[in-house]
Chains A and B, each alone.
Chain A
């Protein structure tokens, strides 16, 4: 089935290319000498050998001690510009899994296909695959858990995951559909207006009970002229709607999720060394579940975020403070869908030990296993692991939170080092399982020390540090009490021993202890149950060391060894460790 689909896609892409190629080559015969077809893409080869050991394997005869896997992959992007107003691109993927022989395990598929252009020099359009983001409460892909300032040694694996899941800069989401945008410039009062809209299908129907699901929306962004010396206002009106098409298949029930917001950035003043901004966003969501055109579930809620940012330009320091209030029933599929789905099946060592215990995702898995990640929009709040994130597991749009956010950023003028500190003091708005409310404290800090720039060395020497401390507490009756704390420490070293030849060292260390109750959510944001009291006293240690040779920008070979230890004080018999050798050749061309 999959192969047939791939085959069809392949034919489709081939036809698509042929169609445009004919036109292009015809044009090439003309006077224009500029290149109309460009080939680029990515090649990747990796092999990894993972060994498992530890207490859990004592007297265990069922768990395989060592696994080896890898892939050989070529993504060939064919980009064509048939005319000045049109650009089309497809990425054809050829992939062979490690161990596949003579065509077995080989797949050919179309990874990406899009066309974009501009109509009448005014209206931009794009159809096919696209990456799009609006605001953190409407359409936004929040960062994943288990990371503050990823050490350089662990980045290659993360980059593989990001690439495979279409995670791009700007927290944009991968969608398939169409979008339009245009801008207007004005002479007085209003300087600019930008209007954009999109529609995408995020789920196809199975022609039975599952309807097609669409998401669509738009934004109007307004930028004023300066009032007075430097005062200026940016205002955005945003709307996003996710809905099921009940005309598709035999479906008779589906969701309607509407979110509309207004965001602003008011620059109070901006001088040579000082600037002050007031920023914020507020809006409302509604969620409706329909059965045969009857609404059987209907709830709505609002959110509010306001803050101020003071930029001390002379000192390279930005200070920010803000108040946030996200209602417990605020529901936004486009903003609250997470990158990591902790319910997904891992590609290796899903169950270990004689009792075939389900292994929970760890820091090691979050760095290695792309199967845990998704770019799909979820119609329910996805599960989360409170050891990695409890304050805002769904990003800024995490519902049921009220409190303060504080931040400071520093970048030394000579780029020798930079640092960032963020803190959140949050509280639940509505209790879970009790009227008592949880208090959250979140501190995230990172620093990048570029010794080479400080000392003006030719070769790179860079130290990166990251820290996340999180505490969750709740009072009340003894059975209602919650006290969970976790600390994540990251350290990475990148030392260029010889020209373009780097030594990479890295550490990720997590401790988490205490108790909490994790809600079981089966539909939307409804807490169905608390399956069991969550009690942890865990330590995770991930150490990595290796080398990397950078042939040129975007092309490198890295050889690494990683060791991971997991221990749970409450259950030492299930402690285990991973040892992994890993080689990756990556080529962007």
Chain B
């Protein structure tokens, strides 16, 4: 290679590197400054000021008509806040939490749902806005529900009306107490009534205390209406109340009309058992099961003719003599696409 061509190569190299350097120099001062690093110092250390107290955009609300309630408030800094709405009759609680400097329709809008069962009903609700970091500063308000939220899904039974012969009570060993049955003596999970089981397995020691068969006719149809026939998309939901006793067990079964008779025949129709529910909690809880996981096919789930609920006493755990066990059942509902959204 001649000296001349070498010189040209070297010059080219220097020019290329120089151009690269200039390009880097040009881009060297361009940085992301749209945000700042870390949490806001005002949020972190600033004195809290209430700029606008709790506001409620309506005094009454009809959730069944699609209405909602928006709560408003403004602070000088972002801070943890908790909005607690409590039904004065049902005891239902809706909790909305946030870390913002403002409550608005974006973060504090209530569509009628609940956080802790039971569900709200038509009732007066007390509203509390709590700022935990500010000595639990609390602001209060009221809103009245004139139309409770209607949940998506196909309700199977909610015990609000007397089902008559569509609910069969199996007290075969006379172990259920007279308190068992449709009742409003305890706050229902939804509405005013629920079904209450109470008894002691002290007549025939076989774990079994009692049962009810809720036939599909309670819905006015031959078979349980379901919002979808895709097993993987169909969910069975029910609310169960327990007083925290240690020895009770709730067993629920979906029963398929396997002989295609259009009616429930014990011993002939096929039973699909849901996982046992240990009654070791207190209050109402929602239990949801994917029907497909229970083994029902598309054809079978369209012919659910009965739902059986049993009260079991876990005798292997019970002291001697055994103690009374109980639970309540409410709002059996099929939903599509996922569990019931409270």
Q: Could you jot down 27 A-B contacts, CB within 8 Å?
A: A186-B10, A188-B3, A222-B13, A222-B14, A224-B14, A235-B17, A282-B24, A284-B24, A301-B31, A301-B32, A302-B30, A304-B24, A304-B28, A328-B32, A429-B31, A430-B37, A433-B36, A433-B37, A433-B44, A434-B42, A479-B41, A480-B42, A517-B41, A527-B38, A528-B38, A530-B44, A530-B45
Q: When the two chains form their complex, are residues B7 and A188 in contact, meaning their CB atoms are under 8 A apart?
A: yes
Tell which of B25, B35, B39, B42 touches A479, judged by Cβ atoms closer than 8 Å.
B42
Q: Enumerate chain B residues within 8 angstroms of A303, measured Cβ to Cβ.
A: 28
The distance in angstroms between the C-alpha atoms of A519 and B32, with both chains bound, is 19
A402 (CB) vs chain B CBs: closest residue = B29
The distance in angstroms between the C-alpha atoms of A328 and B20, with both chains bound, is 22
Q: Which of B7, B38, B39: most chain A Cβ within 10 A?
A: B38
A533 adjacent to chain B (CB < 8 Å) = yes
In chain B, positions 1-34 with a C-beta closer than 8 Å to chain A are 3, 6-7, 10-11, 13-14, 17, 20-21, 24-25, 27-33
Query: When A186-B10, A188-B6, A262-B21 are in contact, do A302 and B38 touch as well, CB less than 8 Å?
Result: no
Tell which of B13, B21, B32, B38 touches A529, judged by Cβ atoms closer than 8 Å.
B38
Number of residue pairs A-B, CB distance < 8 angstroms = 110
Q: Enumerate chain A residues within 8 angstroms of B45, measured Cβ to Cβ.
A: 479, 530, 533
B46 adjacent to chain A (CB < 8 Å) = yes
| A38 smallest CB distance to B (angstroms) | 43
Tell which of A186, A283, A284, A479 touches B6, judged by Cβ atoms closer than 8 Å.
A186
A554 adjacent to chain B (CB < 8 Å) = no
Q: When the two chains form their complex, are residues B33 and A262 in contact, meaning their CB atoms are under 8 A apart?
A: no
Task: A222-B17, A430-B31 are known; give 10 further A-B pairs, CB within 8 A.
Answer: A189-B10, A237-B17, A282-B24, A302-B27, A329-B32, A477-B46, A479-B42, A479-B47, A528-B38, A529-B39
Q: Enumerate chain B residues within 8 angstroms of A186, measured Cβ to Cβ.
A: 6, 10
Q: When the two chains form their complex, are residues B42 and A477 in contact, meaning their CB atoms are under 8 A apart?
A: yes
The distance in angstroms between the C-alpha atoms of A529 and B14, with both chains bound, is 46
The distance in angstroms between the C-alpha atoms of A233 and B11, with both chains bound, is 12
Q: Mark A404-416, 1 if CB is under 8 A from B, else 0.
A: 0000000000000
Q: When the two chains form their complex, are residues A235 and B14 in contact, meaning their CB atoms are under 8 A apart?
A: yes
B28 (CB) vs chain A CBs: closest residue = A304
Q: When the two chains form their complex, are residues A530 and B28 in contact, meaning their CB atoms are under 8 A apart?
A: no
Q: When the two chains form their complex, are residues A187 and B3 in contact, meaning their CB atoms are under 8 A apart?
A: yes
In chain A, positions 262-305 with a C-beta closer than 8 Å to chain B are 262, 264, 280, 282-284, 301-304
A183 adjacent to chain B (CB < 8 Å) = no
A327 adjacent to chain B (CB < 8 Å) = yes
A190 adjacent to chain B (CB < 8 Å) = yes
Q: When the two chains form their complex, are residues B32 and A430 in contact, meaning their CB atoms are under 8 A apart?
A: yes
A170 adjacent to chain B (CB < 8 Å) = no
In chain B, positions 85-122 with a C-beta closer than 8 Å to chain A are none
B268 adjacent to chain A (CB < 8 Å) = no
Q: Enumerate chain A residues within 8 angstroms of B41, measured Cβ to Cβ.
A: 433-434, 479-480, 517, 530
Q: Which of A282, A283, A400: most chain B Cβ within 10 A?
A: A282
Q: When the two chains form their complex, are residues B37 and A262 in contact, meaning their CB atoms are under 8 A apart?
A: no
Q: Mark A216-254, 1 if CB is under 8 A from B, else 0.
A: 000000101000000001010100000000000000000
Q: When the two chains form their complex, are residues A302 and B3 in contact, meaning their CB atoms are under 8 A apart?
A: no
Q: When the two chains form their complex, are residues A325 and B28 in contact, meaning their CB atoms are under 8 A apart?
A: yes
Top 9 nearest A-B pairs (CB, nearest first) are A304-B28, A527-B38, A189-B10, A433-B41, A431-B36, A527-B37, A282-B24, A190-B10, A327-B31
Q: Enumerate chain A residues within 8 angstroms of B38, measured Cβ to Cβ.
A: 432-433, 519, 527-530
- Count of interface residues, chain B, beta-carbon cutoff 8 Å: 31
The distance in angstroms between the C-alpha atoms of A526 and B35, with both chains bound, is 13
In chain B, positions 43-71 with a C-beta closer than 8 Å to chain A are 44-47
| A344 smallest CB distance to B (angstroms) | 24
Q: When the two chains form their complex, are residues A433 and B39 in contact, meaning their CB atoms are under 8 A apart?
A: yes
Q: Enumerate chain A residues within 8 angstroms of B13, measured Cβ to Cβ.
A: 190, 222
| A268 smallest CB distance to B (angstroms) | 15
| B203 smallest CB distance to A (angstroms) | 59
The distance in angstroms between the C-alpha atoms of A477 and B10, with both chains bound, is 56
B40 adjacent to chain A (CB < 8 Å) = yes
Q: Enumerate chain A residues within 8 angstroms of B27, measured Cβ to Cβ.
A: 302
Q: When the two chains form their complex, are residues B17 and A431 in contact, meaning their CB atoms are under 8 A apart?
A: no
| A279 smallest CB distance to B (angstroms) | 12
Q: When the two chains form their complex, are residues A304 and B25 in contact, meaning their CB atoms are under 8 A apart?
A: yes
A435 adjacent to chain B (CB < 8 Å) = yes
| A52 smallest CB distance to B (angstroms) | 34
Query: When A301-B31, A527-B38 are in contact, do A479 and B14 touch as well, CB less than 8 Å?
Result: no
Q: Enumerate chain A residues within 8 angstroms of B42, measured Cβ to Cβ.
A: 434, 477, 479-480
Q: Enumerate chain A residues within 8 angstroms of B46, measured Cβ to Cβ.
A: 477, 479
Q: Enumerate chain B residues within 8 angstroms of A284, measured Cβ to Cβ.
A: 24
Q: Enumerate chain B residues within 8 angstroms of A371, measured Cβ to Cβ.
A: none
Q: When the two chains form their complex, are residues B36 and A430 in contact, meaning their CB atoms are under 8 A apart?
A: yes
Q: When the two chains form their complex, are residues A233 and B14 in contact, meaning their CB atoms are under 8 A apart?
A: yes
Q: When the two chains form their complex, are residues A264 and B21 in contact, meaning their CB atoms are under 8 A apart?
A: yes
Query: When A186-B10, A224-B14 are in contact, do A430 and B33 touch as well, CB less than 8 Å?
Result: yes
The distance in angstroms between the C-alpha atoms of A317 and B221, with both chains bound, is 102
Q: When the two chains form their complex, are residues A304 and B29 in contact, meaning their CB atoms are under 8 A apart?
A: yes
The distance in angstroms between the C-alpha atoms of A434 and B37, with both chains bound, is 8
The distance in angstroms between the C-alpha atoms of A433 and B46, with both chains bound, is 12
The distance in angstroms between the C-alpha atoms of A433 and B45, with both chains bound, is 10
B76 (CB) vs chain A CBs: closest residue = A477
Q: When the two chains form their complex, are residues A435 and B36 in contact, meaning their CB atoms are under 8 A apart?
A: yes
Tell which of A262, A325, A400, A429 touches B17, judged by Cβ atoms closer than 8 Å.
A262
Q: When the two chains form their complex, are residues B3 and A283 in contact, meaning their CB atoms are under 8 A apart?
A: no
Q: Enumerate chain A residues within 8 angstroms of B30, measured Cβ to Cβ.
A: 302
Q: Enumerate chain B residues within 8 angstroms of A187, measured Cβ to Cβ.
A: 3, 6
| A399 smallest CB distance to B (angstroms) | 10
Q: Enumerate chain B residues within 8 angstroms of A430, measured Cβ to Cβ.
A: 31-33, 35-37
Q: Enumerate chain A residues within 8 angstroms of B21, measured Cβ to Cβ.
A: 235, 262, 264, 282
The distance in angstroms between the C-alpha atoms of A303 and B29, with both chains bound, is 7
Q: Enumerate chain B residues within 8 angstroms of A280, measured Cβ to Cβ.
A: 25
Q: Mark A501-529, 1 if CB is under 8 A from B, else 0.
A: 00000000000000001010000001111
The distance in angstroms between the C-alpha atoms of A303 and B7, with both chains bound, is 32
The distance in angstroms between the C-alpha atoms of A436 and B269, with both chains bound, is 74
B3 (CB) vs chain A CBs: closest residue = A188
Q: When the two chains form their complex, are residues A529 and B44 in contact, meaning their CB atoms are under 8 A apart?
A: yes
The distance in angstroms between the C-alpha atoms of A533 and B37, with both chains bound, is 16
The distance in angstroms between the C-alpha atoms of A402 and B39, with both chains bound, is 22
A180 adjacent to chain B (CB < 8 Å) = no
A441 adjacent to chain B (CB < 8 Å) = no
The distance in angstroms between the C-alpha atoms of A526 and B41, with both chains bound, is 16
Q: Which of A262, A329, A429: most chain B Cβ within 10 A?
A: A262
The distance in angstroms between the C-alpha atoms of A196 and B171, with both chains bound, is 90
In chain A, positions 463-519 with a C-beta closer than 8 Å to chain B are 477, 479-480, 517, 519
A148 adjacent to chain B (CB < 8 Å) = no
Tell which of B25, B37, B47 touches A432, judged by Cβ atoms closer than 8 Å.
B37
A306 adjacent to chain B (CB < 8 Å) = yes
The distance in angstroms between the C-alpha atoms of A526 and B13, with both chains bound, is 39
Q: Enumerate chain B residues within 8 angstroms of A222, measured Cβ to Cβ.
A: 13-14, 17
Q: Enumerate chain B residues within 8 angstroms of A530, measured Cβ to Cβ.
A: 38-39, 41, 44-45
The distance in angstroms between the C-alpha atoms of A327 and B32, with both chains bound, is 8
Q: When the two chains form their complex, are residues A431 and B37 in contact, meaning their CB atoms are under 8 A apart?
A: yes
